[in-house]
Structure 1
Amino acid sequence: MTELAEALSQDEAAFAAEVGRVRASGTLGEGGRLLELFDFLAGRGGNKPSASQAEIAEMVFGQTEAGADDATVRVYIHRLRKRLEEFYAAKGDAPDGSRLTLPSGTYALRLVRAAGEPETEDAIQSSRRPLTLIIGLVAVAALAAAFFAGWAVPWRDEAPPANALWQPFIDSPRPKLIVVGDYYMFGEIDSVSPERGRLIRDFRVNSPSDLIQMQDLEPERYGNAEDVGLNYLPFSVAYGISGIAPVLAGGGSQVSVIAASELEPDMLNYFDVVYVGLFSGMALLEDVNFMDSGFQMGESYDEVLDKASGKTFTSGEARSLASPAYYSDFGYIARFRTPSGALVAIVAGARDTGLRGVAPIVAAPRLPGDLDKIARKGDFEALFQITGQQGADLAEKLILARPRGD
Structure 2
Amino acid sequence: MDSPDEAKDTPVSADMAREIARFRASLSASRSAAQLKLFDFLAERSADARSPKEIEIALAVFGNDAGLADSAGDSGVRVYVHRLRKRIDEFYAGQDGPRLVIPKGEYRLVLQAPEVTAATASRLHLLMQSVQRRAHRHLLVLAAIPCIAIAAAVLLPASDRIDSDTRTLGASRFWSNLDDGAPVTLAAGDSYLLAETRDQRVVSRLIRDPAIQSREQLGQHLKSHPDAFYRLYDLDLHFAPVGTAEAAWELQAALPPTRSGKVRKSLVVPLSGADEQALRAPTVVYVGRLADLGQLSSTFVATSRFRTDGDAAVRDLASGRLHVPPMPDRQDATPSGQSDLGLVASMRSADGRRIIFVTGLGDLATQDMVRLVTDGAALREIEQRQPGRKLYEALFEVRSIDGIQTDRRLVASHPLG
TM-score w.r.t. structure 1 length?
0.55
Tell me by how many angstroms 1:255 deviates. Answer: 0.7
Task: Give me the whole-angstrom Cα distance separating, in 1, the residues matched to 2:352 and 2:315.
Answer: 27
User: Which of 260, 264, 275 is the equivalent residue of 2:286?
Assistant: 275
| Contact in 2 for aligned 1:327/1:389 (Cα 8 Å) | yes
User: For the structure 1 residues 159 and 318, does the alpha-carbon distance in structure 2 shift closer, same or farther, using more than 3 Å as the test?
Assistant: farther
Q: CA RMSD in A?
A: 3.5
Write the letter of the residue equivalent to 1:357. D
| Contact in 1 for aligned 2:188/2:245 (Cα 8 Å) | no
Tell me by how many angstroms 1:375 deviates. Answer: 8.1
| Structure 1 equivalent of residue 21 of structure 2 | none
| Contact in 1 for aligned 2:325/2:397 (Cα 8 Å) | no
Tell me by how many angstroms 1:324 deviates. Answer: 5.4
Tell me by how many angstroms 1:242 deviates. Answer: 3.2
User: Which of 379, 384, 395 is the equivalent residue of 1:383?
Assistant: 395
User: Which of 363, 366, 372 is the equivalent residue of 2:374?
Assistant: 363
Q: Which structure 2 residues correspond to residues 70-89 of structure 1 after superposition, within 5 A?
A: none
Aligned residues: 259
User: For the structure 1 residues 198 and 327, does the alpha-carbon distance in structure 2 shift closer, same or farther, using more than 3 Å as the test?
Assistant: closer
User: Which of 312, 315, 318 is the equivalent residue of 1:305?
Assistant: 315
Task: Give me the whole-angstrom Cα distance separating, in 1, the residues matched to 2:313 and 2:359.
Answer: 13
- 1:248 paired with 2:259, answer no
User: For the structure 1 residues 279 and 217, does the alpha-carbon distance in structure 2 shift closer, same or farther, using more than 3 Å as the test?
Assistant: same
Question: Structure 2, unaligned stretches of length 5 or more?
Answer: 1-26, 36-82, 95-160
Tell me by how many angstroms 1:270 deviates. Answer: 3.1
Write the letter of the residue equivalent to 1:311. R
What are the Cα deviations for residues 352-381 of structure 1, in whole angstroms up to 9, with x where unaligned?
A: 121122221111132346523448741101
User: Which of 266, 275, 295 is the equivalent residue of 1:284?
Assistant: 295
What are the Cα deviations for residues 36-71 of structure 1, in whole angstroms up to 9, with x where unaligned?
A: xxxxxxxxxxxxxxxxxxxxxxxxxxxxxxxxxxxx
Q: Which structure 2 residues correspond to residues 390-401 of structure 1 after superposition, within 5 A?
A: 391-401=403-413
Q: Which structure 2 residues correspond to residues 61-76 of structure 1 after superposition, within 5 A?
A: none
| Structure 1 equivalent of residue 324 of structure 2 | 314
- 1:224 paired with 2:231, answer yes
Task: Give me the whole-angstrom Cα distance separating, in 2, the residues matched to 1:196 and 1:238.
Answer: 27
Write the letter of the residue equivalent to 2:414. R
SS of aligned partner of 2:366:
helix
| Structure 1 equivalent of residue 210 of structure 2 | 203
| Structure 2 equivalent of residue 147 of structure 1 | 30
| Contact in 2 for aligned 1:317/1:329 (Cα 8 Å) | no
Task: Give me the whole-angstrom Cα distance separating, in 2, the residues matched to 1:248 and 1:368.
Answer: 14
Write the letter of the residue equivalent to 1:372. E
SS of aligned partner of 1:395:
strand
Q: Which structure 2 residues correspond to residues 120-269 of structure 1 after superposition, within 5 A?
A: 147-149=30-32, 152=87, 158=161, 161=166, 162-163=169-170, 164=172, 167-168=175-176, 170=178, 172-191=180-199, 194-248=201-255, 250-251=257-258, 252-264=263-275, 267-269=278-280
Write the letter of the residue equivalent to 1:346. F
User: For the structure 1 residues 209 and 243, does the alpha-carbon distance in structure 2 shift closer, same or farther, using more than 3 Å as the test?
Assistant: same
Q: Which has the higher contact order (CA 8 A, sep 6+)?
A: 2
Task: Give me the whole-angstrom Cα distance separating, in 2, the residues matched to 1:177 and 1:375.
Answer: 29
What are the Cα deviations for residues 149-177 of structure 1, in whole angstroms up to 9, with x where unaligned?
A: 36749899956613415542655433210
What are the Cα deviations for residues 202-225 of structure 1, in whole angstroms up to 9, with x where unaligned?
A: 222111211122122212124222
| Contact in 2 for aligned 1:279/1:301 (Cα 8 Å) | no
| Contact in 2 for aligned 1:154/1:243 (Cα 8 Å) | no
Task: Give me the whole-angstrom Cα distance separating, in 1, the residues matched to 2:351 and 2:175.
Answer: 20
User: For the structure 1 residues 398 and 243, does the alpha-carbon distance in structure 2 shift closer, same or farther, using more than 3 Å as the test?
Assistant: same
What are the Cα deviations for residues 301-322 of structure 1, in whole angstroms up to 9, with x where unaligned?
A: 32111122211112368998xx
User: For the structure 1 residues 375 and 187, does the alpha-carbon distance in structure 2 shift closer, same or farther, using more than 3 Å as the test?
Assistant: farther
Task: Give me the whole-angstrom Cα distance separating, in 2, the residues matched to 1:381 and 1:375.
Answer: 13
Task: Give me the whole-angstrom Cα distance separating, in 1, the residues matched to 2:90 and 2:251.
Answer: 9
| Contact in 2 for aligned 1:176/1:248 (Cα 8 Å) | no
User: For the structure 1 residues 266 and 242, does the alpha-carbon distance in structure 2 shift closer, same or farther, using more than 3 Å as the test?
Assistant: closer
User: For the structure 1 residues 382 and 195, does the alpha-carbon distance in structure 2 shift closer, same or farther, using more than 3 Å as the test?
Assistant: same
Question: Structure 1, unaligned stretches of length 5 or more?
Answer: 1-143
User: For the structure 1 residues 272 and 306, does the alpha-carbon distance in structure 2 shift closer, same or farther, using more than 3 Å as the test?
Assistant: same
| Structure 1 equivalent of residue 140 of structure 2 | none
Tell me by how many angstroms 1:230 deviates. Answer: 1.1
Tell me by how many angstroms 1:258 deviates. Answer: 0.9
Write the letter of the residue equivalent to 1:186. L
SS of aligned partner of 1:220:
helix
SS of aligned partner of 1:231:
strand
Task: Give me the whole-angstrom Cα distance separating, in 2, the residues matched to 1:397 and 1:217.
Answer: 43
| Contact in 2 for aligned 1:276/1:347 (Cα 8 Å) | yes
